[in-house]
Amino acid sequence: MILHPLGDRAFLAVFFRESEAVAWASAVRERALPEVADVVVAYEKVAVFAGPDALDLDALEGALRSIRAIEGAPDASRLLVVPVLYDGEDLAFVAEALGLSIDDVIACHQATEYVVQAIGFLPGFPYAGALPDTLRGLARRASPRVRVPAGSVAIAGRQTCIYPRESPGGWHLLGRTPCSIVDLEAGHFACAVGDRLRFERIDRDASEAMRGRRLVALADAGTARDRVV
């Protein structure tokens, strides 16, 4: 691990692998150091922000340097199964650009298990990867849409994402989940960096039936049935 200063009250730890970063971040969180306000993972990096009242930043740095993570604890990664109605506006464009049929695009997208690599842009917006080779390489739209509907599932580059709420956006829309992945007022965030993510095709009736339900991740990969509460 290399620890860089991020200004005078934050640090950036850089690792070789994303899984190391995820494991170290949870080890830091487990220590519950009173000086730490936020621990943010993105890809192979982890930022640690000191709280406004923390005074001994050298002690904090020493503590961070001493933390070792045990990687790949088997129950560390949770699985989020996201039901999707694949009726996105860009399906036809994506299929043509990649030389696939629309059904192939959908089949490839839901056959892959992704890992949440970063969260940002909007509260609870997951950047997940990696897309299978067949779906890779589309640049973002030259001019982003002013309004992407809440729940939109989209792809760009090597990643896929879910828009937690309506917002502007430049990714290519494949479909929509009827479920809610973020509820700020209730403090609900469906996914965290390091979670595994799978998409499951549903039809219009199922989509209507699930509208507004809160999506929760499963600690155990096996029981996809109870994915919504």
Partner 1 sequence: MSAGLLVVRPGLATTVQDGGRRGHRAQGVPTGGAFDRSSLALANALVGNPADAAGLEMTLLGGAFEATAPMAVALAGAPMEATIVERGVARPVRVPGSFHLAQGARLELGGTTSGARTYLAVRGGLQTNLVLGSRSSEERLTVGTFLPAPCTDGFSVRFLHSSVYTIDLLFAIMSGLDAIDESFWDRADLRVSARSDRMGIRLEGPVPSVSFESERRSVPVGPGAIQVTESGLIVLGVAGGTMGGYPIVGHVIAAELDRVGQARPGQGLCFVLVDREKARRLDQTRREDQRRLLSRVAAAVGDAGALALCGPAPRE
**Burial per residue of 17-49, b for 16 or more beta-carbon CB atoms within 10 angstroms, e otherwise:** ebbbbbbbbbebeeeebebbeebbbbbbbbbbb
Nearest distance in Å: CB 206, partner 1: 28
Give the contact letters, 139-178, x = binds to partner 1 (CB under 8 A), - = no: ----------------------------------------
**Which among 103-111, 134-142, 171-179, 186-194 is the span making contact with partner 1, rule CB under 8 A?**
186-194
- Comparing C-alpha atoms, which of 155, 146, 177 is closest to residue 164? 177
Our finding on whether 42 is near partner 1 (CB under 8 A) is yes
Our finding on whether 47 is near partner 1 (CB under 8 A) is yes
Our finding on whether 52 is near partner 1 (CB under 8 A) is yes
Give the contact letters, 70-109, x = binds to partner 1 (CB under 8 A), - = no: ----------------------------------------
Q: Which of 12, 27, 63, 98 binds partner 1 (CB under 8 A)?
A: 12
Reading the block at residue 99, the tokens are: 């030389």
Our finding on whether 137 is near partner 1 (CB under 8 A) is no
Q: Which of 85, 135, 193, 216 binds partner 1 (CB under 8 A)?
A: 193
Residue 174 three-state SS? strand
Cβ 206 vs Cβ 83: under 8 Å = yes
Distance in angstroms (rounded) separating the CA atoms of residues 44 and 19: 7
Q: Which of 1, 3, 27, 37 binds partner 1 (CB under 8 A)?
A: 37
> Which residues, at least 6 apart from 57, have a Cβ–Cβ distance to it below 8 Å?
8, 9, 35, 50
Q: Which is nearer to partner 1, 110 or 180 (CB)?
A: 180
Distance in angstroms (rounded) separating the CA atoms of residues 213 and 210: 6
Our finding on whether 130 is near partner 1 (CB under 8 A) is no
Our finding on whether 62 is near partner 1 (CB under 8 A) is no
Helix, strand, coil fractions of the chain, as percent rounded to 5: 25, 35, 40
Q: Which of 185, 205, 212, 229 binds partner 1 (CB under 8 A)?
A: 185
Our finding on whether 213 is near partner 1 (CB under 8 A) is no
What stretches of the chain show up as alpha helix (H) in DSSP? 18-31, 57-66, 91-98, 102-111, 204-210
Distance in angstroms (rounded) separating the CA atoms of residues 91 and 104: 10
Our finding on whether 118 is near partner 1 (CB under 8 A) is yes
How many residues bind partner 1, per CB under 8 A?
37
Residues that bind partner 1 (CB under 8 A): 4-10, 12, 37-43, 45-47, 49, 51-52, 57, 118-125, 127, 184-185, 187, 189, 192-193
